[in-house]
Structure 1
């Protein structure tokens, strides 16, 4: 009797898998909700700007509907990316049981490089724009001979690799700012100090851009005591007294040349202003952070509304920039509602809004 029951069960499973081979409707759908980690900022017809400066950030969150195989068994989903429409040798970006997955800029860049795209302005023969292709493979079954699968419609995404002429600049040093007035107090990590010469020449003049509270600071090397400076009235003293500071956002400069040994603090901040920002044209501005690894100013995950923006120094008019098509200029920059990463390269006169 048990053998007869097993035969009936096997027949039912076989019929179920035969039924699975029929084409079910299975297409990508847009997410009805946005998540805190990533929100849609581009339609499928728009370019996706890919910059290595934000390689770890999400580029797109793919969401699809459940596949129906008419059997009570878990369904696996394989998100595939390819550089050709025939999906010859596709790249598996995810193999999951859920119905959404966020692809990073780094993964997109890998596909773009595979497609022969390049963001080096000195490489004339390689384009920096092109198309990438995505689809989902839904399947049930674990053994190679018993897998039943479906494929979603194909999505075509236009991508553009952002030229970054300052990407290889590295102004990092072994020096930093520590103290009760800094974000992490007297413990590490220290506020990093950067070379002041963009050519990378170590002229012993270093700068830091940071917000301080009322308190004290000192300068030290390698986040350790033993080679540190304090002082007073703009003069540095090896192992000297703590330096008193008041609350504010500063550019801090130290000159460690033996015949100088000076320091200075000046009000200094770059920010984003405009009716698309939370505080409008009156500010205070959305503050940009300095990145000395590529000599740029940036902010991540800033939410803007439909409107216009500009970049300005110290929350005041007089030293401000607008732009057009990624080039800094005087015109207000129009933006649409969304959550963005914004990078400004004042040295090369460019900006990106992704």
Structure 2
């Protein structure tokens, strides 16, 4: 009986060994390969007028064929929209996994069209494509063909506004003290600039400092230098940090070494800033600046900042769709060609107001920078 048991055991061990070898030999390896471009179907309609009274209704459905990455994992698909066929600044309208269609609601398409740069209340072409990929890291991305259609968005204020706070500025360390806004670049919505007077105050290490707020009256989100407070020496350029965007703790402080005029820039794409001296010695001192144009119900005088004589503002003025100019006490008119923000030049035409609302308006007579912030949209 003992010999029989030993034989049975030996057979069992050999069988397990053969099974293990068989499993190793039968192991299948899958290698992802780049898929052929998927085909995005043309839409059955050529133009879409968006109705703000029904924001949850379906506006458009995109359909395409399935990508093939030679993998059993589900594919990722991102719907990209752009105001130009080259997709210079594309935005992702929505993303789905494992399905070959996606529907955007009226509100979603309106928001996407606004983010892509389409003006409100007018039909404009918009371009769409689907980018397929695989895995959690969106590997092997492949773009589909491009289709286009026209869409008329209703108004969508997609911009962010930022405000100065700190003892180097007129607001001091008060987060709700008519804090001056930064001026947004009309072509790059992530680039902001501010040219104006900054003070060093008492002259100490903690004087002449400032940070950037996203909302007046709230300390977060706030932006500053990537160096923590206490070791945040004043330097002319560097990286920025934000609470809570990049970290949980508050960032360091920007600053100036002495009283004077400076140009501060901040780029939220590269997370960098610069702070350089500005020569205002040849500037003209104005005694008044007035808002004029058919967007107004009568001329409106702007208030001159008591901290910086080149900075003018109106805290609230009702504007209708139409045109706007800045006129100074010498009779010279300044205007630009872009709504909400831009650079006005002497005899520069008219600033377009595209939607009715109460606006906060700021103008810098040193640089021509202007910004119009809607208060209710």
TM beyond 0.5:
no
Q: TM-score, normalised by structure 1?
A: 0.33
